[in-house]
Structure 1
Amino acid sequence: MNAIILESTLTCPECGFSKQEIMPTDACWFFYECEHCKTLLRPLPGDCCVFCSYGTVKCPPIQEQRGCCTAAGCGSS
């Protein structure tokens, strides 16, 4: 079994600004505001969270192949 990676770099599709974030293990981030241009990022169709759409690493639930948004905190940021 591979270790879960908790760090992912999110890149804004509007301005290209990147920032490294620590992913929660018990919730999905459905919204993320770009620190640079203030664009509100949302998952692309078919993705469960902003890390799966704009990050360098998929979210922990997807890495574990258990599906995303199963925790009560889904949608938090």
Structure 2
Amino acid sequence: MTQLTSIISCPHCEHQACERMPTDACQFFYECKGCGTLIKPKPGDCCVFCSYGDVPCPPIQQAQAGGEAGPCCGESCHG
């Protein structure tokens, strides 16, 4: 079952927030609620949840479960 929330941790101030992930697109930018920094994914990751969340985005979860990744995520996202 696909999990739709992830705890995202800011790489600058370490603030954590529980956020709902989009199911139809990857979220490339996220504004930290602690320090206001606009963060983006690490190189090779498709979204901020895959880089800084405790749960990867729904398309990657589906791919890891043996399904196909959604239209926003290619095979290069997480090998």
Normalising by structure 1, we get a TM-score of 0.83
Q: Which has the higher contact order (CA 8 A, sep 6+)?
A: 1
Q: Extract unaligned runs of 5+ from structure 2.
A: 74-79
1:42 maps to what in 2?
40
Aligned to 1:64, the other structure's residue is in SS state helix
Identify the residue that residue 69 of structure 2 maps to in structure 1. Answer: 67
Percent identity for Structure 1 against Structure 2: 57
* 2:14 counterpart (9, 13, 16): 16
Gaps of 5+ in 1: 71-77
Letter in 1 for 2:60: I
In the TM superposition, what whole-angstrom CA distance separates every residue of 1:25-74 from its partner, at most 9, and x where no partner exists?
1011000000111111100011000000000000000001133516xxxx
Corresponding position of 1:5:
3
Q: Distance in 2 between matches of 1:46 and 1:28?
A: 13
- Structure 2 equivalent of residue 31 of structure 1: 29
C-alpha RMSD of matched pairs (Å): 1.2
Aligned length: 68
- In structure 1, what residue type is equivalent to 2:26? C
Letter in 2 for 1:20: C
Runs of 4+ in 1 over 3 A off after TM superposition: none
